[in-house]
Structure 1
Amino acid sequence: MEQIALGDTGRTTTRLGFGCSSLMGAMGRRDSLAILESAYDAGIRHFDVAPMYGYGEAEGCLGEFLQRHRPQVTVTTKYGIPPAKNSSLISVARRVVGPLTKTLPSLKHRLALAANAATRTNEKTTFTPQQAKTSLEHSLVALRTDHIDLWLLHEISAADLHDDALLSLLEQEVQRGTIGTFGIGSSVDKIPSLLTEHPAYCRTLQYEWSVLDPEIETAPTSPFRIHHRALTENFRSLHRALSEDKQLCQGWSASTNADLNNPQDLAHLMLKAALVMNPKSVILFSSKNPRHIQLNVKTAEDRSLEAPAREFHRLVQTERNQLSLTQAGAS
């Protein structure tokens, strides 16, 4: 798979990265470890996790996996959203959310957010150096490693940053080698103000991007970027809209030489578009299905899809006003 420099860490990794939000949630530990190995065997070398994922247990699961593969892979984790601590609610959430996501996969992301919110305490993240240091130490222990390649401030806004004491800590941890680099992992609407008001924190930016989003500027001085959610709700919304407009779907299919009424073809072009329209970025995806992982890697490596993906992106950007998109897909 194509390799890319992971920001200013001095390390390279794969263009396609694996998001670990599903670990230890809908899947148990054995299945979670198996899916990590499937991603590794498929050629993926970047793994993204957070203390809150998997009701607070995803970092530990990834840490077990890293015992076999740490030198070969790069890892992102985050600070900002505390992990779950309510063990009784966690047990209930596992029993309820797992079966529901299998029955209603379209609700997976919303159910996961709701379950994690319900099982967390009311602890407020204030983004202080003290809280950050404690979170970093916990992540290092959970991941069973002495360094984290990329450490992101999770769901932070410009208003959360009151002084440069946190920035000093981040820079010190880079000097110590505890983290390779740092940055922001937040929603796209928060990125402009963070870039304007606190550019020193923005060595790396991680936020959502799909063909439905405006084109990303790639100036030489732009921070390194990682994108996620190229599919999810956006895929479902776009597939629904194309299914309802047969004439538009046929026209776009002819222009891209793909059957866009076929969910697999549509998903492949959406993922490929994320890669070709963001050529200097890592693109994250998450899956509980080994076959889907293999197909996504195949899509990433298939150069014959580059021109169709560019054309598909152009069509969506120029003709999206003809689509009847749901609010989730249009956001």
Structure 2
Amino acid sequence: MTPISVLPDGRSTSALGFGCANLFRNDDGAASQTLIDAALDSGIRHFDVAPSYAWGQAEASLGMALSGHNLEVTIATKVGIRRPAPRSKLAQLRSVGAPFKRFAPRLWSKLGHAARRTTQADTCFVADHVRADLHQSLRELGVLKIDIYLLHNVRPADITTDLVNLLLAKKNDGYIGEIGLGSSYVDCELIASQWPELASVLQFPDREADHISSRFCITHGAIQHGLHHIRKWRAENEEAARNLSPKVGIDLFDDDEIASALLGYALSRNEGGIVLFSSTRPSRVKRLAAAASDVGFLSAACQRLRSGMQEIDSQRYR
């Protein structure tokens, strides 16, 4: 069973959240629908999205996929990084190019990076822009209220009195549940110390989770960051990895087992908060979600793995 966390406003949601950066809207929405169905079937009730995700299509895809379900969920979306423009051209390119993804993954990846570069360096926290973007997100998602509204890649210099007043007014009017910050942990804490009313929720990378604060925290990137490190270590220490596997209880040559352990460890480090993960494969969504029911075992295995790798490295360089 997926663990439950309680938001600052008292609402309950799943401690495991599904990241929607890979959602896209094709002719019938089948791909997105299948992913969301897999997440819901696995007990996941929190979904993380942004206007810039999936070439500007993720909010609409998520809203459509959830519309057929009569389940209480929580949605976090963001403001700051601009929506891709021109949106229609990017969406058409993705729709037309999607069938070629399996045949030319490197080209597909380059196209994705190019699209992200058009938005990630371009942030805007001007009050009028935030007001318009909030209401566009509400329309795209098909909801009356956004449960968690995060300032995306925000820095202390981006905060103005007009921005603060606008967000508080929109929360008071019922359009926003929780106002939060989605950035590095350092920037989140710097802003929170001066504008605590903007920081009921903090979202930051899992690799910074050693700094978990008393606020409600959402972490992301545990699998991607950890798996990259372990793969590299495994390639350099193949024999040692084979010997270490039975000692830690994880097959270090099975990426799915490693990913489950990393997710369990992330949940144990952010107890009471939310840990995000994502996948484009429904079967993997279900498999990883199932890991959340055995957090204690997976977390302990991951800690044994971490200690074992450190010990082998120390012996190697003596």
TM-score, scaled relative to structure 1: 0.82
Q: Secondary structure at the match of 2:222?
A: coil
Partner of 1:2: 3
Answer with 289-298 or 185-194: which moved more.
185-194
Deviation at 1:95, TM superposition (A): 4.4
Q: Secondary structure at the match of 2:23?
A: coil
State yes or no: 1:175 paired with 2:169.
no
Partner of 1:126: 124
Deviation at 1:300, TM superposition (A): 0.8
Q: How does 1:12-91 map to 2 (within 5 A)?
A: 12-24=12-24, 29-69=29-69, 71-86=71-86, 87-91=88-92
Partner of 2:292: 300
Answer with 168-177 or 306-315: which moved more.
306-315
Which string of whole-angstrom CA distances, capped at 9 and with x for unpartnered residues, describes residues 232-264 of structure 1?
254133213223213542454344222212222
Alignment RMSD: 3.2
Q: Which amino acid aligns with 1:223?
A: R
Partner of 1:217: 211
Match of 1:203 among 196, 200, 204: 200
Deviation at 1:37, TM superposition (A): 1.3
Using the alignment, how far apart are the partners of 1:214 and 1:257 within structure 2?
26
Q: Secondary structure at the match of 1:141?
A: helix
Name the CA shift for 1:121/1:216 in 2 (closer, same or farther; >3 Å).
closer
Partner of 1:190: 187
Which string of whole-angstrom CA distances, capped at 9 and with x for unpartnered residues, describes residues 167-188 of structure 1?
2222222222211101111234
Name the CA shift for 1:41/1:172 in 2 (closer, same or farther; >3 Å).
same
Using the alignment, how far apart are the partners of 2:28 and 2:313 within structure 1?
43
Partner of 2:305: 312
Name the CA shift for 1:182/1:169 in 2 (closer, same or farther; >3 Å).
same
Provide the identity percentage: 29
Using the alignment, how far apart are the partners of 1:160 and 1:321 within structure 2?
43
State yes or no: 1:165 paired with 2:140.
no
Deviation at 1:227, TM superposition (A): 0.9
Q: Say whether the 8 Å CA contact 2:201–2:215 is kept in structure 1.
A: yes
Q: Say whether the 8 Å CA contact 1:129–1:165 is kept in structure 2.
A: yes
Partner of 2:150: 152
Q: Which amino acid aligns with 2:125?
A: F
Which string of whole-angstrom CA distances, capped at 9 and with x for unpartnered residues, describes residues 109-139 of structure 1?
x753432334x599x5431222111111111
Q: Which amino acid aligns with 2:233?
A: A
Deviation at 1:150, TM superposition (A): 0.4
Q: Say whether the 8 Å CA contact 2:24–2:57 is kept in structure 1.
A: yes
Name the CA shift for 1:280/1:241 in 2 (closer, same or farther; >3 Å).
same
Q: Secondary structure at the match of 1:17?
A: strand
Q: Say whether the 8 Å CA contact 2:153–2:184 is kept in structure 1.
A: yes
Q: Secondary structure at the match of 1:276?
A: helix
Deviation at 1:207, TM superposition (A): 1.3
Q: Say whether the 8 Å CA contact 1:84–1:90 is kept in structure 2.
A: no
Aligned residue-pair number: 313
Instruction: Point out where structure 1 has 5 or more consecutive residues left out of the alignment.
Output: 325-331
Q: Which amino acid aligns with 2:153?
A: E
Which string of whole-angstrom CA distances, capped at 9 and with x for unpartnered residues, describes residues 54-81 of structure 1?
2212111211223233651111111111
Partner of 2:224: 232
Partner of 2:112: 112
Deviation at 1:208, TM superposition (A): 1.4
Answer with 78-87 or 141-150: which moved more.
78-87
Partner of 2:141: 143
